[in-house]
């Protein structure tokens, strides 16, 4: 396995395939680099170098009890980018990974990044507050924490079987393999890190980060996203970014890179080549 050890001693697993312009994929909670299998195979065939890592506490990386915060996640990416000497890279993040991309590009890129894409991503901020009245109440995330602490294995069945992939919608074509693969990835990670990450993805405010970013960014979001509600995410991020394109989908689920990979891959490729 390919791994790197961060300055604080955390071991980060990563995949690095092919040659050419690098595309770095950042996964959502509580998954791993494996969630990008379709995209990595697609872009590898298009002649790109494709890279994906397991965030600390997730997948095959160290099951950390500390450092489970967005600043550290982004710093880990910066160390990986330096180790692999990534230049002119495209960074693509889904859900929590979109927050990681935003924080990394804003604070660590130092000319290394050409473009970025945020898919069903958490920025600017998810939780409801006086500054963010359209957000989700903190009780939603408290429910996530309670379910994880009580029976993580069952919670990691219920979420992908329902709203994550839109399998709870009438007429949805349910894939047991997709549900099982979500469960497999989730259960590989550490319960403590996953618990801590709920606060990270719900409460981290990326407003200042979005305003700092100058490279072209594609924000991709569906109006039917049941995990990161559309109105409080993609459109707001696009307004804060200096050089953004907002791609809106009508009926796709939060996990659309998996359920509708052919659509997402084509739109990403068009953006990268534009």
Respond yes or no: is residue 158 known to be catalytic. no
What per-residue confidence (pLDDT) applies to 258?
98
CATH class of 2-273: alpha beta
16 is catalytic: no
Q: Which residues contact residue 204 at a Cβ distance below 8 angstroms, ignoring those fewer than 6 apart?
A: 69, 70, 99, 103, 122, 125
- Within 10 A of 144 (CB to CB), how many other CB atoms are there? 20
pLDDT at 110: 85
3 state SS of 254: coil
Separation in Å, CA 248 to CA 92, 201, 202, 222, 265: 17, 22, 22, 6, 15
Judge whether 95 counts as a catalytic residue.
yes
Q: Is the dihedral of CA 247, 55, 32, 146 positive or negative?
A: negative
Q: What is the pLDDT along the chain (274 residues), one digit of tens a residue?
A: 799 999 999 999 999 999 999 999 999 999 999 999 999 999 999 999 999 999 999 999 999 999 999 999 999 999 999 999 999 999 999 999 999 999 999 999 889 999 999 999 999 999 999 999 999 999 999 999 999 999 999 999 999 999 999 999 999 999 999 999 999 999 999 999 999 999 999 999 999 999 999 999 999 999 999 999 999 999 999 999 999 999 999 999 999 999 999 999 999 999 999 9
Active-site residue, from 94, 206, 254, 260 = 254
Q: Supply the angle between the helices 176-188 and 138-159 in degrees, to the nearest 10.
A: 120
Q: Both ends of the chain: CA-CA distance in Å?
A: 34
Cα–Cα distance, 127 to 25 (Å, whole number) = 25
Could you tell me the pTM of the whole model? 0.97
Q: Which of 32, 61, 95, 237 is catalytic?
A: 95
Q: Which of 35, 209, 225, 232 is catalytic?
A: 225
H/E segment holding residue 138: helix 138-159
């Amino acid at each position: 396995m390919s791994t790197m050890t961060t300055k604080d001693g955390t071991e980060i697993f990563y995949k690095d395939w092919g040659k050419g312009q690098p595309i770095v994929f950042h996964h959502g909670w509580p998954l791993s680099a494996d969630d990008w299998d379709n995209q990595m195979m697609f872009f590898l065939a298009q002649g790109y170098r494709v890279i994906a890592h397991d965030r600390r506490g997730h997948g095959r990386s160290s099951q950390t009890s500390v450092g489970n915060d967005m600043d550290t996640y982004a710093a880990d990416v910066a160390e990986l980018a330096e180790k692999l000497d990534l230049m002119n890279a495209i960074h693509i993040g889904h859900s929590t990974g979109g927050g990681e991309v935003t924080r990394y590009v804003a604070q660590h890129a130092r000319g290394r990044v050409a473009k970025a894409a945020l898919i069903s991503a958490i920025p600017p901020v998810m939780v409801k507050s006086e500054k963010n009245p359209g957000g989700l109440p903190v009780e939603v995330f408290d429910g996530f924490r309670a379910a994880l602490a009580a029976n993580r294995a069952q919670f990691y069945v219920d979420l992908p079987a329902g709203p994550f992939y839109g399998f709870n919608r009438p007429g949805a074509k349910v894939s047991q393999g997709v549900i099982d693969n979500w469960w497999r990835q989730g259960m590989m990670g550490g319960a403590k890190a996953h618990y801590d990450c709920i606060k990270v993805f719900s409460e981290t405010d990326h407003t200042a980060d979005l305003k700092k970013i100058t490279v072209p960014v594609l924000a991709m979001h569906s109006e039917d996203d049941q995990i990161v509600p559309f109105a409080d995410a993609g459109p707001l991020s696009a307004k804060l970014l200096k050089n953004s394109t907002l791609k809106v989908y009508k009926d796709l689920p939060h996990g659309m890179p998996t359920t509708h990979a052919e659509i997402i891959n084509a739109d990403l490729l068009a953006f990268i080549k534009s």
